[in-house]
Amino acid sequence: MSQYKIIFTGPVGAGKTTAIHSISDVPPIKTDASASDMAKMRKASTTVAMDYGIMNLPGGEKLHLYGTPGQERFDFMWDILVTGGIGLVLLLDNTRADPFQDMKFFLDTFDKFISDTTVAIGVTQMDLSAKPTIEDYHAHLNNLGIKPPVFAVDARVKSDVSLLIQALLYALDPGLEG
Amino acid sequence: MDKNKNPLKVALHGMNERSYKMMAMYLRGPCKGVALVVNSNSAEVDIFDADSVTGQNLLREHFESKSINPAIILSLNDHPQMANALCVKKPVKTDDMLAVFAKAKALLGQNIKSPSLLNSVNIAENTDTILASSKKTEEFSDIEAEKPVLKKYVIDSDEQKKTSKHQAAMQLNEKGFGAFIGNVPGIDVNDPKQFAKANYNPKDYFQGYVESAFKVSREKGQNRQLNSGWNPLVIFPGNNEVWLDVDESQVRSFSGIAIKSTLGSKMSVTPLNQEIVDKGGMALERFQSMDVFLWKVACWASKGRYPVTIDIKKPVYLKSWPNFTRLLVTPHALRIAALLIQCPRTLPNVAEVLNIKPQYVFVFISAACSLGLAGQVIKEADLLVQSPEIKPNKNQGLLSRILSTLLGKKA
């Protein structure tokens, strides 16, 4: 049986681990390591390998949910991760200094994978930092020549993560019926 | 220290973006109710990271300005005692931090009563000692600390109490459509023979007045209120917020009635009556995003019809995906958006391709047009291009199973 995956990516602290936790049918397997110094105040650990969760589908099939490590130095693993992936969920932290730079970095990194599949973008922490707005993200994406779904997302809220994945699926095939 | 009563207003200095965020989150977590991060101008206490290069300069400036604000210095090293400054050794421990906040509050009280005391202390000498000691720690400081702080944000505890503004979307299915959106008696909007009549003019409804009030408010950049002989709709364009002290069911009913001929003369947009704000009665849970509010109002006015500004025989385009996690998700709205984002199509064509009732397409277009996300194609060249057939994805079966699972798992 083929391994089907959805890949969650984005910078450190964008909510990848939490998002996978929100929709996984099994407790996600985390491969976090201790974060240092000030990082401990906010997040006791950070993902250095990958996160993994499962969605059980009808008929015993499984959808694998993989979260990439946030640190760029682990990017050699990303090529391995995306093999068999059906789409990319990019989570961006709106409180970071330049989320557009983050967005461009991840879109460039996964460029080939996105052109073969598609991407849906979730912007997290908008209750802490309302700007840039979702419209600002669309304006930047328009300049890049793509029109993916971009939603405000609270990674802890299952329905937010679910809607983002639904949009990813419909972007792949608008004719889908649930 | 009493929690949740008059938290100390603190400003953070000399921290890179990441450290700033960590510290702000920390104060919102273990120190919740004791300290609140605000802008420098409103701060009562200034917190410095003495181990960063910018932190040292800012600390020097703070002492040279003889500010009455007590300084809290975070450092890896021990620092000498000095007036109006309190030190916390890294890694920061919650007990230490809480104790220092209590001392800072006491100091602040003294400073307000006798600000002249500050001038009698030889601050400059002690500052140099502190800075010399901080330099030792430079080698440990994060490389990022030397980068300028590009973005600061203030955690606004009120913002997080605006539950309506940040709540997750409501997803309507076909069964819930009639009850929540309503329908128009005397017309079958799903009958192609009646399509020509299946439209409505938003200007006849509350929607039109809200759109107009939003436009004026945004253009002028002023807080305004829309008066209707009912409770006023208060508009804050700077925050993209509205406030209305009315239950949603009442807004729904009001939005569904053509009011131009009856209430039209009573509708007006005026500058915000400050009394509404000063009375302190603006319940935070009544705040909503302007877009979320207008989207709903448009759905309720539409009742499954399309706006009169749309020619049903010509294609419409979708500029970008609506922010569905915060909007009312009408039946098949995601599918319609996914299809229209690919290329413009006529409304009946969308319904036909997706094999859905036209009313779901009409209501979606009404809402999307109200936010300026959708519009009519006007270029002749685009009108001549035939809308392509959609090709099923090679994994359609798998995607459908994932979708079914997600829809069954809605929170």
Residue of A nearest to B151 (CA): A97
B395/A contact by beta carbon, under 8 A: yes
Phi and psi torsions of A90, nearest 5°: -105, 120
Q: Is residue A177 part of a domain?
A: no
pLDDT values of chain B reduced to their tens digit, one per residue, 411 residues: 445 567 888 999 888 666 677 777 778 777 778 888 888 878 899 998 887 767 778 888 888 887 888 999 988 777 667 778 898 887 677 788 888 998 998 888 877 666 554 444 444 444 455 455 444 443 333 333 333 334 555 555 566 566 666 666 677 788 778 778 878 888 888 899 999 999 999 999 999 999 999 999 999 888 999 998 778 899 999 888 999 988 888 999 999 999 888 887 888 888 887 777 766 667 777 889 999 999 999 999 999 999 999 999 999 999 999 999 999 999 999 999 999 999 999 999 999 999 999 999 999 999 999 999 999 987 766 555 667 778 888 889 999 999 999 988 544
The closest alpha carbon to B22, from A41, A12, A168, belongs to A41
Domains of chain B: 8-155 (3.40.50.2300), 166-384 (no CATH)
pLDDT in tens, A137-178: 999 999 999 999 999 999 999 999 999 999 999 999 999 986
Task: Check CB contact under 8 Å for B402 and A169.
Answer: yes
Helix axes B333-342, A158-172, angle to 10 degrees: 40
Q: Is residue A106 part of a domain?
A: yes
Task: Check CB contact under 8 Å for A98 and B151.
Answer: yes
| Residue A71: domain span | 4-172
Chain A residues in contact with B402 (beta carbon < 8 A): 55, 57, 63, 165, 169
C-alpha to C-alpha distance for B381 and B401, rounded to whole angstroms: 39
DSSP-derived secondary structure for A7-21: EEE-STTSSHHHHHH
Are B88 and B96 a contacting pair, CB within 8 Å? yes
ipTM (interface pTM): 0.89
Q: How many domains does chain A have?
A: 1
C-alpha to C-alpha distance for B123 and B133, rounded to whole angstroms: 15
Six token digits for residue A74:
């682990």
The residues near A30 (Cβ < 8 Å, ≥ 6 apart) are A17, A45, A47, A51
Chain B residues in contact with A134 (beta carbon < 8 A): 323
Q: Is residue A178 part of a domain?
A: no
Q: Is residue A89 part of a domain?
A: yes
The closest alpha carbon to B361, from B293, B310, B294, B289, belongs to B310
Q: Is residue A36 part of a domain?
A: yes
A70/B contact by beta carbon, under 8 A: no
A112/B contact by beta carbon, under 8 A: no
Residue of B nearest to A25 (CA): B409
Task: Check CB contact under 8 Å for A38 and B320.
Answer: no
The residues near B346 (Cβ < 8 Å, ≥ 6 apart) are B312, B313, B314, B315, B316, B387
B220/A contact by beta carbon, under 8 A: no
Domain CATH code at residue A58: 3.40.50.300
Residue of A nearest to B392 (CA): A173
Query: Which of B94, B402, B403, B407 is most worth mutating to test chain A (most A CB atoms within 10 A of its CB)?
Result: B402
Chain A residues in contact with B405 (beta carbon < 8 A): 55-58, 63
A65/B contact by beta carbon, under 8 A: no
Of A57, A96, A167, the CB nearest to B17: A96
Residue of B nearest to A13 (CA): B18
pLDDT of residue A160: 95
Q: Is residue A29 part of a domain?
A: yes
Q: Is residue A40 part of a domain?
A: yes
Q: Is residue A76 part of a domain?
A: yes
Per the document, the length of chain B is 411
Query: Which of B141, B320, B327, B409 is most worth mutating to test chain A (most A CB atoms within 10 A of its CB)?
Result: B320
